Chain A
Amino acid sequence: MNERDERLELERFALRIRIGIVEAIAAKGGGHIGGTLDLAEFLSVLYLRFLRVRPEEPDWAGRDYLVCSKGHSGPALYSALALQGFFPYELLRTLNRGGTTLPGHCDRTKVPGIDATTGSLGQGLSIACGLAMGTRLSHTDQKVFCILGDGELGEGQNWEAAAFAAHHGLESLTAVLDWNKMQIDGSNDEVLRLGDPVEKFKAFGWDAELVDGKDVLAIRDAVSRAYRRKGRPGLIVLDTVKGGNIPCIQELPNNHCIGVPAQLADRAMEFLRSEAKRLGVEVAE
């Protein structure tokens, strides 16, 4: 496949993930939309090109693992999983309703394809370390990915895990930082300065690189390098925008966890439909 077609295919899938997210959160009337939308490109690349998983056998012991430590981004993973056939797409509309099997925060006990239960921030990277350690003990070539939030890096446990992963040279572990520079009460700079995450993780003994979070081919190349990396854990910092490039969501001063009334959902879907037209994706009206 040439690079143009490759980009188109990955962008199309990212768009479909985004549509699934908006449909799910709009059906509930609101939710953690900001930091969920911005993961669409990364998830598109990961699920379409790399992650060795079996939708018909979600618990397959030989799979690559994905831990979403920022558990509130569950709907992004759910949308990708539904599109990949892990469960019926219609289930997305039950997101976070009483009795649902799709709680807003990632839940491995309820959602096929979710590898770790997360929601209390800061715990996922340690779980990913344990998985990486386990794959090493079992002498398999399985990979472990762990999505982190930038605000989440305020939790000290991440830095415990960062030191642990470097000490043990957990090469199968790749952390992916959704660096949208925003957290609940404001920007990272206003609430708790993060500094340069690439330099911080490098100082802990990790490989780390910054990638344009909208550029599917740049993400593809970074993940491809992650699959080949030896000797140490790696971090991919996704330079993203909270609200995931849907202007009417992105422009809100605080879009972390918000009500999404019909009017806002309609505007978002209108934009996504125009994108669909541009990319040649069919969308149900």
Chain B
Amino acid sequence: MKLRYTGSKPEADITQLFSPTMEELFELDEKVVYLDADLMGSLKTQELWKKHPDRVFNCGIQEANMVGVAAGLFLAGYKPYIHSFSPFATRRVFDQVFLSVGYAKKSVHLIGSDAGIMATDNGGTHMCFEDLALMRSIPGACVVDVSDAAMFMYLLKSTKDREGVTYFRTPRRNAPDIYEKDETFEVGKGKVLTEGEDLTIIASGVMTATALAAQRLLAEEGISARVVDPITVKPLDEALVLRCAEETGVIVTAENHNVIGGLGGAVAELVSENCPVPVLRVGIRDQYGQVGTEAFLREQYGLNPEDIVKKAHLALEKKKK
């Protein structure tokens, strides 16, 4: 497929595109409302709040209540989108999301920004390596690890009427453009970004661009890597993952998340039951977060293209055996 990826900074950051997209949603559907918990500055929605005081609510620093208010707004006929940093949008309010929304068969869109290492200077307290695991465990939830702005903006709109819990974990800035602006996306439909025969790299979120960089390094060595973006970690595109397992015989996963319970876990669970081939996981090895720049944290947790390359070599050795 045609990609926009060059590895350089994005044309526009997610913070620049988010408010206009919400505004489009407001125009598209009068029932869409937006709630935040005193982090409007971080997604640059203050202007949106001023402009649409009847559609945008700043709940203050009370995420649990925000989830409940969203649940109540759904009951009154509205379609709430709510935002906080990823640990506060998921870990802190897991019971509220699970029961007041999921179990009670309500529909709410959750946006958790600055997931994993993207929390950088905010450090370990704000560094969520477990949100994919938490949200995956909610029956019927849709879990999106946002790879670039085009994908995020498209899915924000296309999932508007989706039932149940829909969770987006997203970077706010510095996520390289991967997809063309007119690309379309579907829940449960992964994308093959580069064709390849020797192995498959399944990468999500900010690791998708990293996987593309790794693919180029591998190509220089004569290794042909297929790169896949699952688009939604849940529902996982099972047919695509199994086809990759069958055709390339080995899989490397890459995620900005604990290797337990996230993308790697999901792929390994599926593959081991249906087409057992080696699945090697690049991600956080059951550790907590810490302060640092993105580059420092990638170094600390082994999230650079070279780490994927190393894992690919290991994977190919296992494949030979």
Interface residues of A (CB under 8 A from B): 61, 65, 67, 108-109, 115-117, 119-120, 122-135, 137-138, 156-157, 160-161, 163-164, 167-168
Among B83-109, those with CB < 8 Å from A are: 95-96, 99-100, 103-105
Complex-state Cα separation, A131 to B71, whole angstroms: 8
Residue in A closest to B71 when the chains form the complex, CB atoms: A127
Footprint of A on B, CB under 8 Å?
Answer: 33, 54, 57, 59-60, 62, 64-78, 80, 95-96, 99-100, 103-105
Residues of B within 8 A of A65 (CB): 75
Measured CB to CB, the closest approach of chain A to B319, in angstroms, equals 47
Whether B75 lies near A157 (C-beta < 8 A) is no
Interface pair A123/B99, CB less than 8 Å apart: yes
- Expressed in whole angstroms, the Cα–Cα distance for A126 and B95 within the complex equals 13
CB of B77 within 8 A of CB of A127, answer no
Point out the residues of chain A lying under 8 angstroms from B65, CB to CB.
Answer: 126, 129, 157, 160-161, 164
B76 touching A131, Cβ below 8 Å? yes
Contact A133 B77 (CB under 8 A): no
Known: A109-B104, A126-B100, A134-B75. 20 other contacts (CB 8 A): A61-B77, A119-B99, A120-B99, A126-B64, A126-B67, A126-B71, A126-B72, A127-B69, A127-B71, A127-B75, A130-B76, A131-B72, A131-B76, A134-B76, A134-B77, A137-B33, A157-B64, A160-B62, A164-B65, A168-B57
Asked whether B68 lies within 8 Å of A127 as measured between CB atoms, the reply is yes
* Complex-state Cα separation, A65 to B75, whole angstroms: 10
Find chain A residues with CB under 8 A from B74 CB: 130
Query: What's the nearest-Cβ distance from chain A to residue B236, in Å?
Result: 26
Given A109-B104, A116-B104: A127 in contact with B62 (beta carbons within 8 A): no
Q: How far is the CA of A123 from the CA of B93 in the complex (A)?
A: 11
A137: B residues at CB distance < 8 A: 33, 54, 76, 78
Chain B residues, Cβ within 8 Å of A125: 68
Pick the 8 closest A-B CB pairs, nearest first.
Answer: A130-B72, A126-B68, A134-B76, A117-B104, A160-B65, A160-B62, A130-B69, A131-B72
Task: Say whether, besides A138-B76, A163-B62, A167-B60, A129 and B96 are in contact (CB < 8 Å).
Answer: no
The answer to whether B96 touches A157 (Cβ under 8 A) is: yes
B95 to chain A, nearest CB (A): 5
Cα-based distance from A65 to B99 in the complex (angstroms): 19
CA distance A270 to B104 in the complex (A): 38
Closest Cβ of chain B to A155, distance in Å, is: 9
Determine the distance from Cα of A129 to Cα of B75 in the docked complex, in whole angstroms: 11
Task: Determine the chain A residues whose CB is within 8 A of the CB of B72 once the complex forms.
Answer: 67, 116, 126-134
CB of B134, distance to nearest CB on chain A (Å): 16
Q: How far apart are B163's CB and chain A's nearest CB, in angstroms?
A: 12
Say whether B60 contacts A123, CB under 8 Å.
Answer: no
Contacts of B100 in A (CB 8 A): 117, 123, 126-127
Residue of chain A at shortest CB distance from B69: A130
- Name the one of A115, A122, A164 contacting B60, with C-beta atoms under 8 angstroms: A164
Task: Using known A-B contacts A131-B72, A134-B72, determine if residue A163 contacts B57 with beta carbons closer than 8 Å.
Answer: no
Residues of chain A lying within 8 A (CB to CB) of residue B62: 157, 160, 163-164
Within 8 Å by CB of B73, from A61, A123, A133, A160, lies A133
Q: Note all chain B residues with C-beta closer than 8 A to A134.
A: 72-73, 75-78
**When the two chains form their complex, are residues A129 and B77 in contact, meaning their CB atoms are under 8 A apart?**
no
Alpha-carbon distance between A117 and B77 when the two chains are bound, in angstroms:
16
Closest chain-B Cβ to A65's Cβ sits at a distance in Å of 7
User: Given that A117-B99, A123-B99 are contacting pairs, would A133 and B57 also be in contact in the complex, using a CB cutoff of 8 Å?
Assistant: yes
The answer for the CA separation of A133 and B59 in the assembled complex, in Å, is 12
Closest to B75 in A: A131
Q: Which residues of A contact B69 (CB under 8 A)?
A: 126-127, 129-130, 133, 161, 164
CB nearest neighbor in A for B70 = A130
| Min CB gap B191→A, angstroms | 35
Given that A163-B62, A164-B60 are contacting pairs, would A135 and B76 also be in contact in the complex, using a CB cutoff of 8 Å? Answer: yes
Contact present for B76 and A160 (CB under 8 Å):
no
Cα–Cα, bound, A17→B68 (Å): 29
Q: Which of A125, A126, A130, A135 has the most CB of B within 10 A?
A: A130
Chosen A-B contacts, 15 in total, with CB atoms closer than 8 Å, are A65-B75, A117-B99, A123-B99, A126-B69, A126-B96, A128-B72, A130-B69, A130-B70, A132-B72, A133-B73, A133-B76, A134-B76, A164-B65, A167-B60, A168-B57
Supposing A109-B104, A116-B104 touch, asked if A123 and B68 sit within 8 A by C-beta, the answer is yes
